[in-house]
Structure 1
Amino acid sequence: MTQSRRMLVLRAVVEDYIRSQEPVGSTSLTKAHDLGVSSATIRNDMAALEDEGYLIQPHTSAGRVPTEKGYRYFVDRLATVVPLSEAQRRGINSFLSGSVSLKDALQRAARLLSEITGQVAVVASPSLAKATLRHVEMVPVAMNTLLAVVITDTGRVAQHGLAVGTMPAIEAINRLSSTVNEQCVGLSLAKAGEKVRAIAESAGFEEVRDVAQSLADAFGSMALDERANELYMSGASHLAHSSSLADLAPLFDALEEQVVLMKLMSNLSEESTASGVGVSIGSESHTPGLLHASVVSSGYGRNTRTEEGDADGSAASIDTNDNEPIAFVGSIGPTHMDYAATMAAVKAVARYLSAFISESGPEQ
């Protein structure tokens, strides 16, 4: 018995179980797959795979089902992410091309991914910590308060109140805004904060020194506040059709823990394999509510360059170090999800969001 044939049997079991969600027996494998050996030989292979922890045999059935270890082997050896269908590609194009803002695009992406996979879709807005400054405006809104409106390269618009002891003349405020926009565009919010502090101490800005210091503090605060990420979620109703009632309560609790979910999916997207997609199966997430679920995640970025056709998952990306993910898109479903299809859908939506950010983000 060869190891390679045994693993072909494992792959066949995983594929059949994903499709039927019924324990898989040697007889059905023999009929459905051309493995070149008898049913008895396959039965021996399945017994060996069970001994090795790749399969388990429910006590109520003669068939076997994959374990987490079995799914992990299967996922790690998905050599290519299959392209989406033409209809699905048109669907993504249609949904995202009609977006009127970044928020609208992210909401649409979550709804669409949920429809494609039949699972829970989660899309995070771009992180302010990884954004760069595109424009800032400061507008007096009260006797001692200015509103700073900060626009980033990813299309995020953040607002921050600036308290001042004495309101400077509007001309001085406008001059400060112009200087900040001239010197800080393209800088991260953290570096922009440092630059604004230097501007505050330079000659000619004495009247707005307090305003500049408050703006620098605001930039620093926004750069550190990962909670500013918003999560757009869709498809929770799909869970009722794919999970047992015993699994639902902890799973919904896990979905409510957005900080935990965000950290998990962000880490997955950054640790993704050559396929550009990260997968966590069951207990690998170290999250009790996701014990019977799998998470598929991919990062999207501002200037991701891809080969022609990659948006449908059919070609490899050509990322550079300058194009690290600024946010993620992912799908959550049962451990018996269709991994190949889910990975393709997640990757495709991530590619379209990258293109949207790159082409349209600054205008949002």
Structure 2
Amino acid sequence: MSLDDRKLEVLRAIVQDYVETREPVGSKALVERHQLGVSPATVRNDMAVLEEEGYIRQPHTSAGRVPTDAGYRLFVDRLTRIKPLSPAERRAIERFMVGVVDLDDVVHRTVRLLAQLTRQVAVVQYPSLSRSAVRHLELVPISTTRLTLVMITDTGRVEQRLVEMPGPVAPDDVWEMRRRVNEKLAGQKLADTPVLVQKLVDETAPDRRPTMACLASVLLETLVERSEERLALAGTANLTRGGVLDFQGTLRPVLEALEEEVILLKLIGDLEPSTTRVRIGDENEIDNLRSASVVSSGYGPGATIVGGLGVLGPTRMDYPGTIATVRAVARYVGDLLAQN
């Protein structure tokens, strides 16, 4: 059975009231608080249909109704507009992010900002190396036989490695290697670099090939072999605010899930540009998070997605506001990365 617009309005009102009051919602309260334009008897009939369809339920006898996971899903799917951020919220984002100094600073400010604005647990994935491109490679002599290799990606991520050379290397030779590696690799996606690194070795004069081969092995380690992803987490204390999450009386399963980086990456990763994903209750693949909702979005410069961010909280969350905040912060971080 498809619900008509009036019943959807009743469901929307129930969700809004329950999110705000944390109390089951009765028909009398709905009529008093919302301009539904129908009688209390009609509202009761509509609530009976919503309950029969599985969109609301009665937690105990003589109580009002609360939304089910299916009810929240229908509410989110039928959102006609996302609640716009207030001017104060937009200013808060801009103020919080002004003067960032490097990528670590961007990530840590972003995760704290998300947790503060949504009052949920916030997760931000560092820009993935596999999705990044080389911006610049620097070779810094430490001694005649030692160099520091510094790689800077287009997302601002910095990786450093020590290179032990097979013999002394003249300053002019260091300069020439720096020129050649940047000429070959700058602007290239990290995933495309292995064949280019091999070409660097093949195209080097035989007498200098051992030196370039030594540098190439460290280059490959830096560009390719770092497969682990990094995450930042903030706002775990928000789980306890006002009995936010009631997982059969304990938060332990949620806290255990939040300690697993693989789980967190599943929650916020693999998103297309300009996509916001909402997973509600049982839609979560992780058993320990079946009583939670996750709102996530990809971020990156322009149309390129380099990482994910999002928040985790109770199914009883302010979905319009949370979705708007996650989208706005993702867009702002993407603009920051594009400017750097």
Deviations along 1:291-336, one digit per CA (max 9) or x if unpaired, are 111111111112x2xxxxxxxxxxxxxxxxxx23111221111100
Q: Which moved more, 1:159-168 or 1:101-110?
A: 159-168
Give the letter for the 2:292 counterpart.
A
Aligned to 1:316: none
- Whole-Å Cα distance in 2 between the matches of residues 143 and 292 of structure 1? 60
For residue 135 of structure 1, report the CA deviation from its aligned partner.
Answer: 1.0
Relative to structure 1, the CA distance from residue 247 to residue 3 in structure 2 (aligned partners, 3 Å threshold; closer, same or farther) is farther
- Whole-Å Cα distance in 2 between the matches of residues 5 and 145 of structure 1? 74
Q: Which moved more, 1:205-214 or 1:88-97?
A: 205-214
- Whole-Å Cα distance in 2 between the matches of residues 124 and 261 of structure 1? 9
- 1:237 aligns to 2:237 (yes or no): yes
Aligned to 1:248: 251
Give the letter for the 1:211 counterpart.
C
* Secondary structure of 1:354's aligned partner: helix
Aligned to 1:88: 89
Aligned to 1:134: 135
Aligned to 1:292: 291
1:170-181 map, 5 Å: 170-181=171-182
- Whole-Å Cα distance in 1 between the matches of residues 334 and 11 of structure 2? 36
Verify the 8 A CA contact 1:149 1:159 in the aligned structure 2.
Answer: yes
Match for 1:348 among 305, 310, 328?
328
Q: For structure 2, which runs of at least 5 residues remain unmatched after alignment?
A: none
* Secondary structure of 1:126's aligned partner: coil
For residue 28 of structure 1, report the CA deviation from its aligned partner.
Answer: 0.9
- Whole-Å Cα distance in 2 between the matches of residues 192 and 77 of structure 1? 45
Give the letter for the 1:99 counterpart.
V
- Whole-Å Cα distance in 2 between the matches of residues 325 and 247 of structure 1? 36
Aligned to 2:63: 62
Verify the 8 A CA contact 2:97 2:109 in the aligned structure 1.
Answer: yes
For residue 253 of structure 1, report the CA deviation from its aligned partner.
Answer: 0.8
Q: RMSD between aligned alpha carbons?
A: 2.2
Verify the 8 A CA contact 2:76 2:319 in the aligned structure 1.
Answer: yes
Deviations along 1:145-197, one digit per CA (max 9) or x if unpaired, are 64321100110001234455445444333322211112211101122232121
Deviations along 1:208-227, one digit per CA (max 9) or x if unpaired, are 232243044224534x61x2
Relative to structure 1, the CA distance from residue 236 to residue 69 in structure 2 (aligned partners, 3 Å threshold; closer, same or farther) is same
Verify the 8 A CA contact 1:192 1:216 in the aligned structure 2.
Answer: no
Verify the 8 A CA contact 1:298 1:329 in the aligned structure 2.
Answer: yes
- Whole-Å Cα distance in 2 between the matches of residues 181 and 80 of structure 1? 47
- Whole-Å Cα distance in 2 between the matches of residues 328 and 66 of structure 1? 29
Match for 1:213 among 190, 212, 216?
216
For residue 142 of structure 1, report the CA deviation from its aligned partner.
Answer: 7.7
Q: Which moved more, 1:290-299 or 1:173-182?
A: 173-182
Match for 1:327 among 299, 304, 307?
307
For residue 61 of structure 1, report the CA deviation from its aligned partner.
Answer: 4.1
Aligned to 1:318: none
Relative to structure 1, the CA distance from residue 173 to residue 51 in structure 2 (aligned partners, 3 Å threshold; closer, same or farther) is same
- Whole-Å Cα distance in 2 between the matches of residues 342 and 16 of structure 1? 16
Relative to structure 1, the CA distance from residue 293 to residue 167 in structure 2 (aligned partners, 3 Å threshold; closer, same or farther) is farther
Verify the 8 A CA contact 2:292 2:313 in the aligned structure 1.
Answer: yes
For residue 243 of structure 1, report the CA deviation from its aligned partner.
Answer: 2.1
Relative to structure 1, the CA distance from residue 131 to residue 71 in structure 2 (aligned partners, 3 Å threshold; closer, same or farther) is same
Aligned to 2:280: 281
- 1:262 aligns to 2:242 (yes or no): no
Relative to structure 1, the CA distance from residue 60 to residue 140 in structure 2 (aligned partners, 3 Å threshold; closer, same or farther) is farther
Verify the 8 A CA contact 1:23 1:61 in the aligned structure 2.
Answer: no
- Whole-Å Cα distance in 2 between the matches of residues 27 and 179 of structure 1? 76
For residue 60 of structure 1, report the CA deviation from its aligned partner.
Answer: 4.4
* Secondary structure of 2:152's aligned partner: strand
